[in-house]
């Protein structure tokens, strides 16, 4: 039993910061699992040709692949704390890495390595559970967004008939109020498609 518990803890840790062969398997597994909410999130962004786009937690790079296949955005940058994820994303987007429109960077959300007002679209899919300093991350998103820029944060807050109170509290009582306090306007929670029984929602906001 102790052995099985250790294995579960190891796998759970790899969902936050995937490492090694297990991490590679997990980021590719997440591509398959999260296709519905990835498609939906990209639709919410209302992408245009001149957009400068940032993904927080790019994982294996599937959303970036979808965007570059479908849109002529000016620039798309993906960051992830996991070197394993960045390697997988680079492999998936290898052909597109030859131009300057697509970049992948290993970085922490708490200290985004970008100048102020660099992006007009920022999104993140299934990462909010791992935000260790919500106020700092929200402030960093606000800092790197251009005025009028949009952020979309997608996650699950329940499954089937169950509501995850911890995630609900995190999103509705911490993230959204601090977004409004920071200066975001039109902050709202939008319900999306269920994925494998999980309830998909997004927090949307626009920088004043």
- pLDDT category, 17, cuts 50, 70, 90? low
Confidence (pLDDT) at 24: 54
Share of the chain above pLDDT 70, in %: 84
- Reported pTM: 0.85
Q: What is the full DSSP assignment across 91-142?
A: HHTGGGGGSTTEEEEE--GGG-SS-TT-EEEEEEES-GGG-S-HHHHHHHHH
Residues 75-134: tens digit of each pLDDT = 999 999 999 989 999 999 988 887 789 999 999 999 999 999 999 999 999 999 989 999
**Residue 65: which H helix or E strand, with range?**
helix 62-70
* Backbone angles phi and psi of 22, in degrees to 5: -60, -45
Helix (H) or strand (E) holding 26: helix 20-33
Task: Report CA-CA distances (Å) from 153 to 19, 37, 166.
Answer: 24, 11, 17
Domain with 138 in it: what CATH number? 3.40.50.150
- Domains contained in the chain, number: 1
Which domain range does residue 175 map to? 2-207
Across the chain, mean pLDDT equals: 87
Q: What percentage of the chain carries pLDDT values higher than 90?
A: 73
Element (H, E) at 176: helix 176-182
């Amino acid at each position: 039993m102790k052995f099985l518990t250790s294995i579960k803890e190891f796998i759970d840790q790899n969902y936050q910061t995937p490492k090694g062969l297990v991490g590679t398997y997990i980021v590719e597994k997440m591509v398959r699992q999260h296709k519905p909410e990835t498609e939906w999130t990209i639709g919410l962004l209302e992408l245009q040709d001149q957009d400068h786009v940032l993904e927080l937690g790019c994982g294996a790079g599937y959303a970036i692949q979808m965007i570059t296949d479908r849109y002529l955005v000016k620039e798309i940058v993906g960051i992830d704390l996991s070197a394993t994820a960045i390697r997988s994303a680079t492999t998936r987007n290898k052909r597109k890495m030859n131009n300057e429109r697509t970049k992948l960077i290993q970085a922490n959300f708490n200290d985004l390595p970008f100048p102020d007002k660099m992006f007009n679209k920022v999104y993140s899919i299934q990462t909010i559970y791992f935000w260790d300093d919500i106020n700092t991350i929200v402030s960093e998103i606000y800092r790197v967004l251009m005025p009028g820029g949009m952020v979309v944060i997608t996650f699950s807050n329940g499954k089937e008939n169950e509501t995850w109170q911890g995630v609900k509290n995190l999103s509705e009582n911490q993230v959204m109020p601090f977004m409004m306090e920071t200066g975001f306007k039109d902050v709202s929670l939008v319900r999306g498609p269920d994925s494998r029984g999980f309830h998909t929602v997004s927090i949307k906001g626009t920088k004043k």
